[in-house]
Amino acid sequence: MSKVFCAVLLLGTCALGQQREIGFLGGGGFLKGLPVQDTSLPVTAGFQAGPAVGFLIGHDLYSRWSGEIRYVFEHQNLKLTAADGTAVSFGGQAHVVQYDVVFHTRPRNEKIRPYVAMGGGIKLYRGTGTETAYRPLMDYAYLTRTQELKPMFAVGGGVKVRMSRRTTLRIDLRDQITRFPEKVIAPAPGTKLSGWLHDFLPAVGISWDF
């Protein structure tokens, strides 16, 4: 986790001369799991939906183009779900640091500014639960108390609504795309678990210009 905060500080320092906006976000993350392969019983591995909070630092130097550095914390419990109804969960969380290029469909002086965004960064998946000698569905995958850093690609968009000369309301959606963290949720011997995870993150926030 310390690596993530160091990355935030480094990126913030690089953008210090161009900062024009700071904001806070709150929302939730929603992920679709992936099937564990080579199993006798269909089992899905993934993460439960959970709350997310974060902050952003932006620079808005052009009429329609801007950039943003974001940090997001997500509460995401690990989970396994079987076709027979058996389910098990394990404490988890994620830390995200990213940089997005943002294109606004309307110029800066407009009150309402829809936008699209694209960028990338890193996502740290962490298992934080208590490991036990036995857990249901252990024949298929292990929910582990470890962490794994993954490169991340992000796309999305939203709308900014100017509330006052310096205050803006933001409604936002991002799709955070990473490879599956197979060390945090590890396939059991004889099974396979891999693929792409999409974390859909709707959020509402407030930002201030300075």
pLDDT at 3 over 90: no
Range of 102's domain? 2-209
Using 50, 70 and 90 to split pLDDT, how confident is the model at 140?
A: very high
What pLDDT does 1 receive?
52
Residue 92 and residue 145: Cα distance in Å, rounded?
8
Residues 6+ apart with CB under 8 A from 100: 67, 68, 70, 117, 118, 119, 154
Domain count, the chain: 1
Cβ-based neighbour number of residue 177 at 10 Å = 17
CATH number at residue 150: 2.40.160.20
Residue 1 and residue 93: Cα distance in Å, rounded?
11
Phi, psi torsion values for 76, nearest 5 degrees: -135, 100
Tell me the average pLDDT across 133-160: 95
Tell me the average pLDDT across 138-144: 95
Using 50, 70 and 90 to split pLDDT, how confident is the model at 63?
A: confident
Element (H, E) at 183: none
Using 50, 70 and 90 to split pLDDT, how confident is the model at 108?
A: confident
Q: How far is CA 55 from CA 104, 120, 205, in A?
A: 20, 16, 9
Tell me the average pLDDT across 170-188: 96
pTM for the whole structure: 0.86
pLDDT digit string (tens) for 22-44?
Answer: 999 999 999 989 999 999 899 99
pLDDT at 8 over 50: no
| Residue listed under structure tokens 């490991």 | 131
Residues 6+ apart with CB under 8 A from 73: 52, 53, 54, 93, 94, 95, 96
Q: How far is CA 157 from CA 32, 117, 189, in A?
A: 20, 5, 41
What is the identity of the amino acid at 17? G
Nearest to 25 by CA among 47, 53, 6, 57: 53
